[in-house]
Structures are given as structure tokens and as C-alpha cells.
């Protein structure tokens, strides 16, 4: 069973994502602060991280992603950003994965589209496979 770490300061969102992922048979750990998240990445060894952007400071999730990639040297750990930063900050551009500036695999907007999040998680973990067009 794959382990997923959800790092978000919103307890309601954390609980909702946990419930959804556990129903899909994933093991879920939660962290409410960036510091707790980094510690759990080290202690729990998750198979995937779901990370908010706006925690105690506005763009703190970006720093957490970079810390996981650079400080912990976990370049292969899938990271999904799940955030409402585009809606709340009304920035004139959209954030997207970028190996140098935003080293994550996928950027999804809140509110959560449950089916899209589940499909994304399964794809990143190699559990979602397309049916062949011409089965043997």
C-alpha cells in the first residue's frame, strides 16, 4: 500500500483528502506545518507528497518543495501541489511545474476535483494504466 503525505495547514482539507485517499486504499500521513512536513518526509518515507502553497507565509509550499528536492536530495519523490494560490493572490500568471523554480510534478488548483486528484496520484505512482487499444 502506497504511503502519501499531505502537508496543509487547513485541518478540514487535510481530513477531506485523507478520507478520499484512504477510501482508495492509500496509507495517509498528515502534517500541518512546513517543518512537520519536512520531518515526516524524513521519518515516514512517503511514496508521494501532496503539498499546499500558502501556509504560514504566502508561498511557503514552494520552499518546502525545493527543500525536499535539494536539501533532502529526493529528486524522484513525486510532489503534487494542491493550492488556491491562483484564486487568492490573483497573480497575472499561473504557476506550473518547473525543474529549476518549482520542482514539483503536478500543480492542481483548489477546490479539489476528487477524480482528477485520484487519477493524478495513481498515475504518479504507476497505478493508473490505460487499456491497450488492441488487447492481445
What pLDDT, in 10s, does the model give residues 21-33?
Answer: 999 999 999 999 9
Does 3.40.50.2300 match the CATH number of domain 3-124? yes
The pTM score is 0.81
pLDDT tens-digit profile of 13-22? 899 999 999 9
Mean pLDDT check: name the lowest of 45-59, 77-91, 107-121: 77-91
35: which DSSP letter?
A: H
Check: CB of residue 61 under 8 Å from CB of residue 51: yes
d(CA 31, CA 48): 13
Nearest of 83, 33, 23 to residue 53 by alpha carbon: 83
Provide Rg for the chain, Cα atoms: 15
Amino acid at each position: 500500500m502506497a504511503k502519501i503525505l499531505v502537508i496543509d495547514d487547513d485541518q478540514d482539507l487535510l481530513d477531506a483528502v485523507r478520507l478520499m485517499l484512504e477510501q482508495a486504499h492509500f496509507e495517509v500521513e498528515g502534517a500541518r506545518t512546513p517543518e512537520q512536513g519536512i520531518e515526516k518526509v524524513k521519518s515516514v518515507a512517503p511514496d508521494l507528497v501532496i503539498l499546499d502553497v500558502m501556509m504560514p507565509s504566502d508561498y511557503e509550499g514552494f520552499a518546502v518543495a525545493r527543500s525536499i528536492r535539494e536539501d533532502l536530495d529526493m529528486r524522484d519523490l513525486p510532489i503534487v501541489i494542491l493550492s488556491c494560490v491562483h484564486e487568492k493572490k490573483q497573480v497575472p500568471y499561473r504557476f506550473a511545474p518547473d525543474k529549476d523554480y518549482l520542482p514539483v510534478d503536478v500543480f492542481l488548483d483548489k477546490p479539489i476535483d476528487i477524480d482528477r486528484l485520484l487519477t493524478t496520484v495513481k498515475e504518479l505512482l504507476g497505478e493508473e494504466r490505460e487499456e491497450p487499444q488492441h488487447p492481445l
